[in-house]
Each structure stands twice: as structure tokens, then as C-alpha cells.
Amino acid sequence: MDISCTVQEVMLLERIGETADRLGVSCFVIGGFVRDKILGRATKDADIVCTGDGIELAKAVAETFPHKPHVNFFKNFGTAQFKLNGFDIEFVGARKESYSPESRKPDVLPGTLEEDQLRRDFTINALAITLNKENFGKLVDPFNGMDDLQYGIIRTPLDPDITFSDDPLRMMRAIRFASQLGFTIVPETFEAITRNCARLKIISQERTTDELNKIMACPKPSVGLELLFKSGLLKEFFPQMTDLAGVDILDGQGHKDNFYHTLKVIDNTAERSENLWLRWAALMHDIGKPATKRYENGHGWTFHGHEVVGEKMTPRIFKQLKLPQNEHMKYVAKLVSLHLRPISLTKEDITDSAMRRLLFDAGDDLEDLMILCESDITSKNRLKVKRYLENFEMVKLRLREVEEKDNIRNWQPPISGDEIMKLFNLTPSREVGVLKTTIREAILDGQIANTYDAAMELLIEKAQTLNLHPVSPSGLKNTD
């Protein structure tokens, strides 16, 4: 088999083959490594299968290196692994498996190479290359995986109902590979996914979400997302997203299908940015629409407040999908809540104060917000799209001008909450919040200058209306 391996890879594979010869076992590199090498994709790991004890082979291979890498092994599964310069090598004895219907934990029995290949997920992942000296480099391809690689086809080596029932995560993998490689899932295999999608529930959410994120990272995520939708898998773990689908018509008035609109927004975002979380913001931007949908006589369909509902839904959905509950989630929620703001600034008589507010609210995420908003323009009318994009360029220009003048991004009001508390001898309380907000709002609205003295003057004035007085005149200057 002629595939382009580096010299180091060839030497490593030869070394594994020679060790297998010494132990008297047959040995092959199999699965993703072979697939990706044939496709000319990058590889970061290699799976080795042998007709014998995989752990013993792994330990014997590791022994041949001067620094004797540490071998991790799992006796119950008969698997072993070690790393060489960041490259992961996994070993397993060829096996046939039978799965219990209630879990993914297989009963492992020793088997032949072909039995092992037969129980793998797809023909393109079942290709093996011999490593023993006698036949080094010989392709073993009992299920025409090579043809499927060439024609771009995803199919299971076994009856797909059995393959998917053995391990339902493979349904997500089929769609992920279709999306990553631009391959087609054969109808028989796709129909089996639609039949078995309810089995996904025995898979941990972390694994399902991992596959979903791999789809989101593709150049055109809509390919995989649409397949997830059509197969019924998406509804199994993310019903809020499938709720976006469909069009209601009343008095002859419809609205756009928010599911397909969302897919387009994700693709548009993916064309402009690699940032996974910005793509998530695109996925979530209209998630609040089903809950806010109303039909108003004379107006047609409205989705008032969907950005607020969407912002609130974000932490719950992240929890449900076992996505991180950290700054990524906050970033997505923030972009969802702000996604209508830039479009509202495209009208002519917009004040500097509205611009300042957006600069303040978006802070460092302003550029990402603008990418999301541009991606949100999915009209089929080219002239409309052109006009909207030109309007956004104007908004960007004005935002830049206001920012240069007022320096509002990442700005902190000149008097902090701590200073207010010291000045009026207050503990954290509603009054402190009122005073802080008064200063911030007055500066953002342009009512007072963005300076310490102007803020202090307003603070004292406002405090008097709350019957608060500075504890000592020396407290008037921040000496911290």
C-alpha cells in the first residue's frame, strides 16, 4: 500500500511489525490512521490491532525504545497505549464483540482480523495495513472500504441496525464524518439511523456533544446539522433547536423557517470566523423565537423579546448539553442578548449615546457581535443584503469614531463602588448600586463629561436626594 507516511512513521510501524514477528503474532495498523493517510489528512494517533494480546505487544514495543515510554493499559478491555512525541499509539487484540442492549460495554472475545474489521463502524474505518515483515504495507480490505473512500461513501460493514445498536454513538459519527469529509451516507445506513435514533439516550451527553462540536467546527456546519435534524437525532438531545423548524401561516402571512435561517447564519459565521463559541452564538441567536412567537393583527408574526428569552435559555441549554458553564457560556449568552442592537443603529438619526451604550455593553466582543449580525442577514434579495451590509459598514465607522473620541470600550466609570462605600460609610447595598448606575448612565448618555470631577459632583448631588452625606471632606479624593 502506497500512502505518504513520514520517515519516523514508517520506522515506527516497521518496529511494531518486527516486535510482532518476534512474538509470533500478526499485526496491523487500522482505522482512522489508514483512512486519513489515504485521504491525505493529518493524523495524531494510530490504532494497532494484533491477533493475540495487545497489551503484551504494546509493552514489548515500548521496551525497544531507549527511553522506554510508559504504557497505560486496561486489562478489562485488553487495550494499551503509549505516547511518542505527542503521537498516540493504541494497541488492542483483534476481537469480536457482542454488546448488551442496555449499555455500550462490550463483551470482548478474541477474534480474527476480519471479525474485528466487521465490528467496526464504517467500511472507511475498517481498512487495515499489515505490519509484519513478510507482508509489510499490504492492504486488508474485505468490505471495499477503499472504493467507499474513493467514491465518498459512508456505510457500515454489517447490517447497520446491528452496528448502530452495538454502539449508538456511531450514528453521530456517521453524520460527523459526512460533514467533515463531504461524504454521503448511503440510504440504507441513513434509514437505520432514523430507525435507531432513540438509542442515542444510552450514550453520555459529553460524547454526543463532542461529536456535535466536531460538526460545528466544520467549514459548513449546516451539512451535519441538517442531517442530524432529518435523521431525528437532533430532537433526541436538543429539542429546543428542532422547535425552530417550521412555518406557521395565518391570514396568508407566514414567517421564515427559523431552523433553516439559523443554519444559514451558522454557515455565514463559519465563513467569517473559526471561533467555535461564535458559531454557538449563531446557533443560539434565535433560540428564544418559538417561545415568543405571536400573531398580531395588522403586524403579522412577531418575536418580541426573543433575544432576552434566548439569553436566559443559554445557561440551561449549556447545562443540558454538558457544555462548559464558564466564560464561553457567558460570551454566547451576551451575544444572543445583543444580537439585535447593531441593526437598530442603522437608522439615520442615531445618537452618539446609543453608540456609546453598545460599545460599553459589547466591550471586547464587539467585533464578534458585528460578525454575528452580518451573518444574520440571510435575505435572498441581493440588493437588500448589499444595503444591509453597507449600513453595517456605516455603523462600524461611527462606532470607531465614538470609541476614538470617548474611549468607552472596557471603560470603568471614574468612581468605583468601593470608593462610594468609603465616602458615605456604606456597606454593599441598593444605594451603592443606585449611585453607581447614576454616574454610569449620565456618562453614557453624554450628560456629564467622562471625568472624575464631573462624576464626583453628580455623585454628591444624587446622594443628597437619598439623604446621604460624605463622612469627611478628605474622603472626597480617591487616595487608594
Interface residues with ligand CTP (CB under 6 A)? Answer: 31-32, 47, 120-121, 125-126, 167, 169-170, 173
CA-CA-CA-CA torsion for 14, 16, 19, 23, nearest 10 degrees? -130
Query: Least distance in Å: CB of 39 to ligand CTP?
Result: 11
Q: Which is nearer to ligand CTP, 120 or 255 (CB)?
A: 120
Give the Cα-Cα-Cα angle 78, 16, 116 (nearest 5 degrees): 45
Residue nearest to ligand CTP (CB): 32
Query: Least distance in Å: CB of 124 to ligand CTP?
Result: 8
* Sequence-separated (6 or more) residues with CB below 8 Å from residue 359: 366, 399, 402, 403, 406, 408, 409
Q: Which is nearer to ligand CTP, 119 or 235 (CB)?
A: 119
Q: Which is nearer to ligand CTP, 217 or 350 (CB)?
A: 217
DSSP 3-state of 152: coil
CA distance 43 to 209: 22
What is the H or E stretch that residue 141 is in?
Answer: none
Query: Least distance in Å: CB of 45 to ligand CTP?
Result: 6
CA distance 448 to 450: 7
CA distance 479 to 88: 57
Closest CA to 133 of 307, 269, 16: 16
Q: Which is nearer to ligand CTP, 121 or 236 (CB)?
A: 121
Percent of residues in the chain assigned helix, strand, coil, to nearest 5: 55, 10, 35
CA distance 471 to 458: 17
Q: Which is nearer to ligand CTP, 173 or 285 (CB)?
A: 173
Q: Which is nearer to ligand CTP, 167 or 376 (CB)?
A: 167
Query: Least distance in Å: CB of 326 to ligand CTP?
Result: 25
SS (H, E, C) 255-291: CCCHHHHHHHHHHHHHHHCCCHHHHHHHHHCCCCHHH
Q: Which is nearer to ligand CTP, 179 or 268 (CB)?
A: 179
Query: Least distance in Å: CB of 368 to ligand CTP?
Result: 28
Q: Which is nearer to ligand CTP, 125 or 375 (CB)?
A: 125
Query: Least distance in Å: CB of 181 to ligand CTP?
Result: 10
Q: Which is nearer to ligand CTP, 49 or 423 (CB)?
A: 49
Closest CA to 37 of 14, 6, 83, 82: 6
Closest CA to 345 of 327, 366, 323, 324: 366
CA distance 226 to 261: 12
Query: Least distance in Å: CB of 179 to ligand CTP?
Result: 11
**One-letter amino acid identity for 168?**
P
Query: Least distance in Å: CB of 266 to ligand CTP?
Result: 21
Query: Least distance in Å: CB of 15 to ligand CTP?
Result: 21
Closest CA to 320 of 238, 229, 208, 200: 238
DSSP 3-state of 18: helix
Q: Which is nearer to ligand CTP, 154 or 399 (CB)?
A: 154
* Sequence-separated (6 or more) residues with CB below 8 Å from residue 124: 35, 145, 148, 149, 153, 154, 177, 183
